[in-house]
Amino acid sequence: MSLPELLRKISPTIWELPVTYKEGMRVPARIIASESLIGGMEAGVFDQAANVACLPGIIDYAWCMPDGHWGYGFPIGGVAAFDPDSGVISPGGIGFDINCGMRLCLTNLTEDEVRPRIRELVDQLFFAIPTGVGCTGFVRCSRSTFRRVIENGSRWCLENGYALPEDLEMTEEGGRFEGADADACSDKAVERGFDQIGTLGSGNHYCEIQVARPENIFDAATARAFGITIPNQVVIMFHCGSRGFGHQVATDYLQTFLKVMTTKYGIKLYDRELACAPFRSPEGQAYFAAMKCAANMGFANRQVILHRIREVFSRLFHRSPRDLGMDMVYDVAHNTAKLEKHIVHGVERELLVHRKGATRAFGPGMTGLPDRYRDSGQPVIIGGSMETGSYLLAGEASAAPTFYTTAHGSGRTLSRHQAKKMVQGRKLLDDMERRGIHVRTDSYGGLAEEAGLAYKDIDVVTRVTEDAGLSRRVAKLVPMGNIKG
């Protein structure tokens, strides 16, 4: 694919589109990529990054991470910080699946102990964690209780027996976005999501049993700090978000912003999916409060899923979750906007940082990290395809230019239909079984869409994040079993 003529290589891992690339750009757009990754990016990535650079109040650059690909509104992997006083908030900069994110949980079991029981384990997880189109969860929750869930996130889970106290500390924002206001959410959003707590959904959402083999440890000291201490230690990683509730919150406010963006606030529209409102406006503040509710639903959803995972392991191995060492490493959010303090041109400022398909990656010593990770930096969990493995990384001090943000996954290269044309779901399942990865799914078609060949090489993506100083590799985690919707 030919790259935009104006694209300039700034360093081995940074590419820049100048403000002359598109009329209206207020700042340049910067893409983190190697030669091979930039060559594989769709034209849409450059256009979408340029559109983001046109938004009012944007600071420094519109960024795109190395797993970036063509999305809607922001590119997937898009990162932008805005001045809260002069800038905007945009649902298209966060995504419909607000606080879609990753969670990683340890065990003290080894591959040798788990391998003989992997089928049983995957099958039981498949029954314990609802997956697929329109699935509902086991938590029986009234609409009024759900309003407490969305205002309190993981804290509600702790109060109701679905969390250990230390789980909250190991979750971004302590598992609760402060300032969430259920009154800012429509009845429709509540109706759509109140019975979906503890469900995976479908698409690229999954729960995976993985092993950390000694040859895949890149940074032994940090791996130990993150709890990976035994050769061939088994861990559990899962990926899901705020389900129908979050999707409806985003849809509701997208329509609200469309009505006021130009007529009331005079903001030029480059892409309707980038509809926005001034952050300090009533509409902007209402969305921010509702978005926080959706973020809390994302945390609660993953917390309840973790509870179910612990129950399954405990039942199968006849030991308590504590005896099995089932401690959380961390929970990271992918799709959010947050007020954070960053140094801009030598001055500390509060910024509204949008991350869409990107991971916050705080470096060592930063405020907001649990004490346990003060020296190591924040654990970063980057999910790869279910065939190739995933990575545990650590935040770096050198990530300041991207507002301490790194990649979130490997990034798609094939469309879902292309993948299905090239791979048969049933055959893929059998092939993976032969390679020692036991998979359960509701949908063979959906499985084919998530085949390894549909994604960029996770090894390359994570190495580029390291070369760019965004995050350093700690361990590669190889799949043994997977459930997906």
Partner 1 sequence: MPYRFQDEITTADVAFEAWGDTREELFISCATALLRTMTAAPEQVAHEQKRVIRLKHEELDLLLFSFLQELIFHKDAHRLLLHADSVRIEQRESIFKLVATVSGEPIDAARHRLLVDVKAVTLHRFQVLFRDNQWRAVVELDV
Would you name the residues annotated as active-site residues?
408
DSSP assignment letter at 412:
B
Quote the least distance from Cβ 203 to partner 1, whole Å. 5
Residue 28 per-residue DSSP state: -
CB neighbour list of residue 388: distance below 8 Å, 6 or more residues apart: 410, 452, 455, 457, 458, 459
CA dihedral 366, 89, 350, 242 (to 10 degrees): -30
Of 188 and 319, nearer to partner 1 (C-beta) is: 188
Q: Which residues lie below 8 Å from residue 122, measured CB to CB, with a gap of 6+?
A: 209, 438, 439, 440, 481, 482, 483
Give the span between the Cα atoms of 61 and 50, in whole angstroms: 10
- For partner 1, which is the closer residue by CB, 227 or 425? 425
Nearer residue to partner 1 within complex by CB, 88 or 474: 88
Of 199 and 390, CB closest to partner 1: 199
Nearer to partner 1, 245 or 313 (CB): 245
**DSSP H or E stretch at residue 481:** strand 471-484
From the CB of 357, what's the least distance to partner 1, in Å? 9
Comparing CB distances to partner 1, the nearer of 190 and 228 is 190
Smallest distance from partner 1 to CB 269, Å: 10
27: Cβ contacts below 8 Å, ≥ 6 apart: 19, 53, 58, 59, 60, 61, 62
For the CB of residue 415, give the shortest distance to partner 1 in the complex, in Å: 4
The least CB distance from residue 356 to partner 1, in Å, is 11
Q: C-beta of 458: minimal distance to partner 1 in Å?
A: 16
Question: What is Dmax (Cα atoms) for the chain?
Answer: 64
Q: Nearest approach, Cβ of 450 to partner 1 (angstroms)? A: 10
Shortest separation between residue 77's beta carbon and partner 1, angstroms: 11
Instruction: Find the length of the chain.
Output: 485
* Cα 360 to Cα 355: distance, rounded to the nearest angstrom: 8
CA distances from 185 to 200, 226, 260, 299 (A): 22, 37, 18, 17
**Could you tell me where the DSSP H helices lie in 153-281?**
154-159, 165-169, 187-193, 220-225, 243-260
Nearer to partner 1, 24 or 214 (CB): 24
Q: Which residues, 6 or more positions from 186, have their beta carbon under 8 angstroms from its beta carbon?
A: 248, 249, 252
Q: Which of 268, 316, 348 is nearest to 123 (CA)?
A: 316
With a CB cutoff of 8 Å and minimum separation 6, the contacts of 399 are 361, 363, 405, 406, 469, 470, 471
Quote the CA–CA distance of 106 and 227 in Å, as a whole number. Answer: 7
The torsion angles phi and psi of 93, rounded to 5 degrees, stand at -95, 5
Q: Tell how strand 101-110 and strand 88-89 pair up.
A: unpaired
- Which C-beta is closer to partner 1: that of 365 or that of 445? 445
Report the alpha-carbon distance of residue 422 to residue 428 in Å, rounded.
11
Residues that bind partner 1 (CB under 8 A): 42, 69-73, 76, 95-97, 132-134, 136, 188, 191-193, 196, 201-203, 243-244, 247-248, 250-251, 254-255, 258, 271-273, 275, 412-418, 442-443, 445-446, 449, 485
